Structure formats: C-alpha cells, structure tokens
Amino acid sequence: MKTPVSIAPDALDFRRLIGRGETVGWAEATAEPLFLTRLLDAQAERCSPFRVFFPLTFSDSLAAGHPNVTITALGGAGAGRRFFAEGADNVVPANISDVPGLIASGRLPIDIVLLQVSGPDDTGRYNVGLGIEHLHAAMNRARLVIAQVNPELPWTYGDTVIEPGAIDILVPPPRRHSNCRRGRPGRSSARSQNTFSG
C-alpha cells in the first residue's frame, strides 16, 4: 500500500501539479476543502489552462475571473451563479445522483481530486466527514488525490472512511485552520447547553 506524501501548506504548488487541460474537482457545499480551494484560487493564474468541476458551491473561495480556468458545474445554484453570469454553456445537464456514474464511466473526467479529511484513527484511516457524494468514483479514476487535514471535521460513519493508500498528497493543517469560523457562544447557546445537559 502506498503512503501519502506530506507537503506543508505553504509548499503546495498547484503549478507543478496541474497538467494542461486537466480537471480539478471536489465535493460540494459544506464538504468543500476551503483551504485547498483558496490556495488554488491564489495560484490559478500561474497554472496552465485547466478546468474545475463541482456540483454546487456555497463559498467564494474561487474567483470567477481567472482567464485560464473553465468552470463546469451542475448549475448556478448557491454561490455558483457568479460563474454563469454570461451563459450556461458549461452546465452539466444531469441530476446530482447521476454524477458518480458519469465520473465512473469517464464521461465526466476528474484528474485531480481535492478533499478534506479528519484523522488518522488508530488504524491509519481518514474520514471525509461531511459528505462523500461522488468522491469515491472520482478518487478511483483520478491521477492525483490531495487531502487537507482538517482537525475540526467530524468523524462520521458509513462510507466516509478513506484508506491512506487512496491519498497521494496529505496537507497538514496550517497553524490557524479555518474551514469554518468559530464564534463565542451566546446566551441562547448557554441555555441550550444547560437544557440538553439535564
């Protein structure tokens, strides 16, 4: 079984990782690996022309104006509408349940998968936490799988476990990791905690 290569967050260079015309993909909505997609945004224009696929996004981590990046998605719902303001030529006409099959058949190719994981556990396995969606299909066909470790990501049960051999590059959490912002609990949170703690 292969062992993931660990690369520090400030040493990850997408220019060296993304080939011309390749497609980079990730999970949708709250499962998006925001640290990696923000880093991709910062480095995008130094890369060869490439494509991006996601079913749905709630974030603004990737800007819409990169001249060398072609966005493909299921539509402009959520925050994704900015990518299709001038037309819907790159919308995939499919239901979200169709995406794993399209990827597995090669009709929707994803060459590089970005994901966030928690772990490892005592057996060395990782967990994608908030959503697996099409990731298994994408990881099975991808040339490269890059996983960011997010210590705030919950460990969930089901088909969300990822074997270490499925990951090519493992990115440890930056010193201040924020895939979501933490606020201080207010009075209502304290009342709720007291209510549920008995």
Q: What CATH code is carried by the domain that includes residue 155?
A: 3.40.1080.10
Tokens 């945004």 locate to 41
pLDDT band for position 83 (cuts 50, 70, 90) = low
Residue 183: the pLDDT is 44
Segment 74-89 mean pLDDT:
60
pTM, to two decimals: 0.82
Per residue in 150-198, pLDDT (tens digit) is: 999 999 988 899 999 999 999 998 875 445 444 444 454 444 344 334 4
- Tell me the residue ranges of DSSP E strands in 16-175: 23-26, 50-54, 69-73, 112-117, 126-127, 144-149, 161-162, 169-171
The tokens describing 16, both together, are 């060296």
The tokens describing 22, both together, are 């390749």
Q: How many domains does the chain have?
A: 1
pLDDT band for position 94 (cuts 50, 70, 90) = confident
Contact 49, 23 (CB under 8 A): no
Segment 109-116 mean pLDDT:
95
Cα distance between residue 121 and residue 81, in whole Å: 38
What SS3 state is found at 36? helix
Residue 185: the pLDDT is 42
Q: Could you list the residue range(s) of the whole structural domain that residue 148 is in?
A: 5-196
Residue 143 reports pLDDT greater than 60: yes
